[in-house]
Structure formats: structure tokens, C-alpha cells
A = this chain, B = another copy of it.
Amino acid sequence: MTKIAFIGLGNMGGPMAQNLVKAGHDVCGFDLVPEALDQLEQAGGSKAESVTEAAQGASVVISMLPAGKQVESLYLGDDGLFKTMGNRCLVIDCSTIEAEVARKVGQQAKEQGIDFVDAPVSGGTAGAAAGTLTFMVGGSAGTVEQARPYLEIMGQTVFHAGDTGAGQLAKICNNMLLAIVMTGTSEALKLGIDNGLDPAVLSEIMKSSSGGNWVLEKYNPVPGVMPQTPASNGYQGGFMVALMAKDLGLALNTAASSHTATPMASLADNLYKMHAIRSGSHQDFSSIIQLYDSAD
């Protein structure tokens, strides 16, 4: 049993923290939303009134926050945890943020003898609840091994992507590719539909051919082709357009910094923007196929 502080108990962080509780750990959580704290308490954890209180005596700190500025503030801010944290602590940041911020926090951690990994996830809220998340982890091999037992409670697969920041980079690259593939798959399906093909038949063919991809396997954007997808459920649930937009923003900022040309990703980003202008950002990201249609 380890004493773990868990900061950020939202749709993802909440179930992740509860899985740590179920595995027998002593989890003390903090969140700005009181209901989130209550839920952790009901699940057997404890709640703190501040970040500092949550981290008191913890040997592991896990954070799951919306953006880089919150992560930076949590660890490096004026009242940041690194001001008070003991130097044998392990810090696991599961937020999806700029690699640059992860590296900045990691560098400061290193100077203070704190072990730090960036460990963004994929798998969505369903994966968080079921403990089947995938972690893409950046940090030294030794620190990743330290973090692994906790990550394997919250998820199924743990990838060591490289040094600090590499977890963020791997996730950014993956999600950028996902946006391209979702848009491209929608386009190919729409071309088939417009020419009289049955989208279920076309999906089956492309899935087994060189066009095969995760979207066709798990997440078909055409309503009715796969019963459990957001597309078959009014594009509710799943991974919101707003979140894909955030990840594309991270990818394009990264590309701007490294002077990498990403014409396909930039176009996908603009198609998502045009879609959001019409249909809002709250639908699942597979709803991009509506952009190709007359009724948006």
C-alpha cells in the first residue's frame, strides 16, 4: 500500500483514482469540484482541501489536469508542490499538455531529486473506468519502471516513448494521425456512398485491405454501420470535437516549433474548425463526416 496524492478528479482522473483505491492504495485526492471529491471518498479514498494537503506524506503524486498552464502552476507555481515536496517522491503527470511544459517540469524535478514522468493516456472515459487505458510515458527507464506498477493498475498497456516529454510527443503524433485518418476515412466512405456503394460493405472491404485502420475497426463514422459507436448513438459520448481540436492545436504548435511541414494535419485541423463553426464542439469527433454532407 502506497500513499498516493491524486490531483484532478474529472471524467478521466476520477475513475483512475478509484482504480488505485480498489487495488489497495491509500489515495488522497484534490479537485476544485466538491462532487468529485465526494465520489472519491465514497469509493474509499480520502479528500483534501488543498493540493498541499493532498500531497502531505504521499510518496507518489499523480495529476490529471486540463492543460499545461495548470500543470505548470501545480508543480512550479508560487505555492507549487515542488516548493514543499520531499526529494524521494515519484510524480506522474497524466495530463495531455505541451511537451515543452513537461520538459520544464521534468527539468525542475531533476534538479530537486524528484522522479518525474509524463504519462498521457489514450482510451477515453470508458478505458479509465475499465482500467484499460494506454499510457505513453516519457522519462528515464528507471523512473518509468518505478511508475509502471501504478500505471498498470489504471491501464493495460504502458509504452516507454523516450525521455521526459516523449510521452506527450507520442500522444500528439498519434492523435494528429487519428484526426487525419478519421477525416480521410470519412471522405472515402462519402465518395463510396455518393456513388451508390453500401457503406457497411465498403467499410468491410477497406478494413481488410490496404486502407485498413483503427477507425474502420472500432469507430466507423457512418451511423448504423457499427452498433456501439458514437455514430450510431447520435455522435454522443466518445471523444469530443473540442478535445480533438485541443490535440490538433498542440500538434500544430509543436510542428511550428520544429519547422515540420504538416499539410495534411493542418487541413484536417481546418476541416474540424469548419465543422465546429457549424455544429459546435460537443459531438464526438467522428461527426466530421457530416461536414461532407448537405445537412450538417
Residues of A at the B interface (CB closer than 8 Å) are: 99, 122, 134, 136, 157, 159-163, 166, 169-170, 172-178, 180-181, 183-185, 187-192, 194-198, 201-202, 204-206, 208-214, 217-219, 249, 251-252, 254-256, 258-271, 273-274, 276-278, 291-294, 296
* Residues of chain B contacted by A194 (CB below 8 angstroms): 258-260
Task: Decide: B174 and A180 in contact? CB cutoff 8 A.
Answer: no
* Residues of chain B contacted by A213 (CB below 8 angstroms): 177, 181, 212-214
7 A-B interface contacts by CB (under 8 A): A134-B208, A184-B264, A187-B263, A195-B258, A210-B214, A264-B271, A266-B266
Task: Decide: A214 and B211 in contact? CB cutoff 8 A.
Answer: yes
Number of this chain's copies in the assembly equals 4
* Residues of chain B contacted by A264 (CB below 8 angstroms): 180, 183-184, 187, 264, 267-268, 271
Task: Decide: A173 and B159 in contact? CB cutoff 8 A.
Answer: no
CB contact between A209 and one of B134, B265, B273 (< 8 Å): that residue:
B134
Q: A213-B214, A264-B264 are in contact. Are A173 and B188 (CB under 8 A)?
A: yes
Give bound CA distance, A263 to B191, whole Å: 12
Give bound CA distance, A223 to B82, whole Å: 43
A288 nearest CB across to chain B (Å): 10
Give bound CA distance, A54 to B162, whole Å: 49
Give bound CA distance, A267 to B265, whole Å: 10
Task: Decide: B273 and A191 in contact? CB cutoff 8 A.
Answer: no
